[in-house]
Amino acid sequence: MAQQAGIQVAELSLAWDAVEIADGVYQDPDGLLAATAFYAANNIKLMLTFAVINTNQRTTPDHLDQYDWNASELIEAFNNMTDFVLAELPDDVVVVGVSIGNEVDLFLTIDEWTPYGEFVAAARTHLHVDNAQLNVGVKTTVYGGLFGLTGPFIRALNEHTDVVMLNYYLMDQYFEVHAPLTVHNDFTLISGNFPGREIWLTEVGYQSGEEFCSSSEDQQASFYHEVFIAWDFHRYFFAYLMVDWLNDASEAQLAEWEAYYGSSDPAFLEYLGTLGLRTNAGEDKNAWLQLLAETAPRGWLPPAPGSKK
C-alpha cells in the first residue's frame, strides 16, 4: 500500500536489549535484520533507530544499566552492538540514517543531557569510521520538546549530530490536536531554531480521534495537505519526512502500548490508535486519499522493480 504513494524509506527501530541479550551476546531479534532484504528488493531504503532510550524507557542490557551515558564501558558496548547490527544487514540494504535514541527529551533528566551528548558524539564518530556519509542524529520531539523547556538542551544535543531529527505531532499536552494551518508557523519556527542545518522530520502524525482528541478524518486529511504545502516552501531545510503511520492500531496493539507506557489515559490511547492513514481493517481514511493526492503530482511514483532510482 505504501508503495502506491511512492514510499522511499522505511524505519526499523531496535531496542538495545533486544539485540544484546547478554554481555557481548547478540541476536537478530525476530529475524528483523534479515527481513530488511524485502526493502532492498523493492527499492526502499532503511532508517535505523537504535532505541537506547525509547520515549519513557532506557533499553540498555541489564549488565550496563549502572553506567552513566558517557562511561567508556557503555560507549564501547554500544559501538560493538551497532557493528553487529550493521554487519547483519543484507549487503544491498541502503541505510540512509541512524538515530541514537527515540524521543530522548521525554526521558533525560537535566543532569543527563551533557553525558548523553558525549555518548552521541562518540557513537557518531565510530559509525563514521566505516561510512563517513551516514547521517547520524537523535530523535526528539517538537511539541513538549523543542517548543518546550527542553528546547535549549535539544539545540545543544544537535551540535553532535549530522542532521536534526524531530518527531512532529500537532497537539497539546492533553492529546488534543491544533488546527492544521498551524503547520506553516511551526515549520518556520523549527527551521529558525537550526539555521543552516538539514532537518529530518522522523515522525509526522495527526490523529483522527474525535471523542478525546478533538479531531476528525477531515482534519487529519487537511493536516497532510498543509504539511506538503509547508514542505514545498521550506524544502531547502527539510530533507526528510516520515509519515506515521499507514494503518490504525489494533486493540491488541493498544493493550501492549498501554502496558508499555503505563498509561490508560483514554485521550493518549485514542491518539495512538487513530494516527493511521487507513483504518485497522484496511479501509481508506480521507488522509490516505489526501496523501496520494499530494505525492502523485510531486513525482513520487514507485520505481520499477530492479531499478536503481
Q: Which of residues 139, 162, 185 is at a domain's end? A: 162
Chain centre distance of CA 85:
18
Q: Would residue 248 count as lying in a domain?
A: yes
Task: Tell me which residue of 244, 247, 272 sits closest to 258, measured CA to CA.
Answer: 272
171 contacts 214 by C-beta, under 8 angstroms: no
Residues 145 and 262 in one domain: no
Residue 137's pLDDT is what? 98
Count of domains for the chain: 2
Q: Tell me whether residue 306 is in a domain.
A: no
Question: 130 and 191: one domain?
Answer: no
**Maximum alpha-carbon separation in the chain:** 52
* Rounded-to-10 torsion of CA 63, 68, 70, 73: -20
Rounded to two decimals, the pTM is 0.95
Confidence of residue 307 (pLDDT cuts 50, 70, 90): very low
Same-domain pairing of 105 and 215 = no
DSSP 188-237: HHHHHHSTT--EEEEEEE-----TTT---HHHHHHHHHHHHHHHHHTTTT
- Say what the pLDDT of residue 199 is: 98
Mean model confidence pLDDT for the chain: 95
Confidence of residue 107 (pLDDT cuts 50, 70, 90): very high
Among candidate residues 146, 162, 178, the one where a domain is terminated: 162
Q: How many CB atoms lie within 10 A of CB 43?
A: 18
Contact 4, 302 (CB under 8 A): yes
Give the side-chain half-sphere CA count within 13 A for 254.
19
Taking the CA atoms of 262, 107, 52 and 48 in sequence, report the sign of the dihedral they define: positive
Question: 135, 162, 189: which is the final residue of a domain?
Answer: 162
3-state secondary structure of 277: coil
Taken as a whole, the chain contains a residue count of: 309
Whether residue 287 contacts residue 224, with contact meaning beta carbons closer than 8 Å, is answered with yes
Tell me the residue range of the domain where 186 lies: 165-299
Rg (CA), the chain: 19
pLDDT at 299: 84
pLDDT at 308: 45
Rounded to the nearest 5 degrees, what angle is found at the Cα of 168, between the Cα atoms of 70 and 256?
Answer: 75
- The crossing angle, in degrees rounded to 10, of helices 182-193 and 217-233 is 40
What are the counts of helices (DSSP H) followed by strands (DSSP E) for the chain? Answer: 11, 10
Q: Are residues 179 and 156 in the same domain?
A: no
94 within some domain: yes
CATH number of the domain that residue 221 is part of: 3.20.20.80
- Residue 169 CB partners (closer than 8 Å, separation 6+): 141, 142, 143, 203, 204, 205, 206, 207, 271
Q: pLDDT for 292-305, tens place per residue? A: 999 989 887 655 44
Q: What is the pLDDT at residue 301? A: 66
Cell matching residue 48 = 535505523
pLDDT, tens digit, for every residue of 127-182?
Answer: 999 999 999 999 999 999 999 999 999 999 999 999 999 999 999 999 999 999 99
Residue pair 123/162 in contact by the 8 Å Cβ criterion: no
